[in-house]
């Protein structure tokens, strides 16, 4: 049996430590005894990006007959292991732009250090702007500037790492996301679990909601995760 190797630790403000572990060729980010993410399971995080861009028209127009009228401006909340960012870069065009908001500097240090091969240069793509900031602050300060906001923060609406993350999924947080989105924009939220109360809150905020179940692995296997695609009216 191959033992896990403790590579590094990240200090979460007012929360437990995050640990970067290595098991053979796989990397794992763990919170105490819970594995938050690992390099073997990226399917649902990738779907967060690809399914959102598809709903926005992909590289072509929504009818598939021509180029989009304008470039997309997308905000990603939480870098994690970069699954969502790399997937988004793979389906976006050269004129589109991505802002990644990451609160913990250690996460980026890991990406540029022991996980550099996994990162595959995505943080250095000219379409990417990395901001070391709470994504909630980015959302609060925006006014119709984003075509999509992709949130893979904590464990979803039920916070696990930081209690403050619950604010993102509160009524106030959802109203701020609504304001930050352009007409027709999409708030896409990843979660490890279903949450009927959150679905209701999205609808009460005014979003048109599509709740999709996706598998954890890109091969269609693994645990079932949930993505909410909440679209603002045009």
Q: Which residues are the active-site residues?
A: 152
Retrieve residue 81's tokens.
């292991």
Q: How far apart are CA 126 and CA 146, in angstroms?
A: 18
Selection from 82, 70, 77 nearest residue 29 by Cα: 82
Q: Both ends of the chain: CA-CA distance in Å?
A: 55
Q: How far apart are CA 89 and CA 65, in angstroms?
A: 22
Q: How far apart are CA 41 and CA 28, in angstroms?
A: 10
φ, ψ for residue 179 (rounded to 5)?
-65, -35
Neighbours of 48 (CB within 10 A): 26
| DSSP structural state of residue 183 | E
Q: How far apart are CA 154 and CA 58, in angstroms?
A: 27
CB 139 within 8 A of CB 180: yes
| DSSP structural state of residue 226 | E
CB 2 within 8 A of CB 23: yes
Selection from 57, 65, 73, 210 nearest residue 149 by Cα: 73
């Amino acid at each position: 049996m191959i033992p896990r190797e403790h590579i590094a630790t990240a200090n979460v403000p007012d929360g437990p430590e995050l640990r970067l572990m290595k098991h053979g060729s796989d990397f794992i980010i763990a919170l105490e005894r819970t594995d938050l993410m690992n390099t073997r399971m990226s399917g649902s995080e990738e779907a967060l990006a690809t399914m959102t861009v598809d709903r926005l028209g992909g590289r072509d127009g929504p009818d598939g007959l021509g180029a989009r009228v304008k470039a997309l401006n997308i905000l990603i909340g939480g870098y994690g292991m970069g699954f969502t960012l790399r997937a988004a870069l793979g389906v976006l065009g050269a004129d589109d732009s991505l802002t990644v908001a990451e609160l913990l500097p250690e996460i980026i240090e890991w990406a540029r250090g022991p996980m550099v091969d996994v990162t595959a240069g995505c943080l250095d793509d000219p379409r990417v702007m990395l901001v070391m900031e709470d994504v909630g602050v980015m959302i609060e300060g925006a006014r119709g500037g984003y075509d999509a906001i992709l949130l893979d923060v904590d464990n979803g609406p039920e916070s696990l790492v930081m209690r403050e993350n619950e604010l993102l999924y509160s009524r106030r947080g959802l109203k701020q996301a609504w304001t930050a989105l352009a007409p027709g924009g999409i708030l896409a939220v990843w979660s490890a679990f279903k949450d009927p109360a959150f679905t209701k809150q999205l609808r009460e905020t005014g979003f048109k909601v599509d709740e999709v179940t996706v598998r954890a692995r890109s091969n269609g296997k693994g645990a079932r995760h949930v993505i909410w695609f909440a679209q603002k009216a045009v």
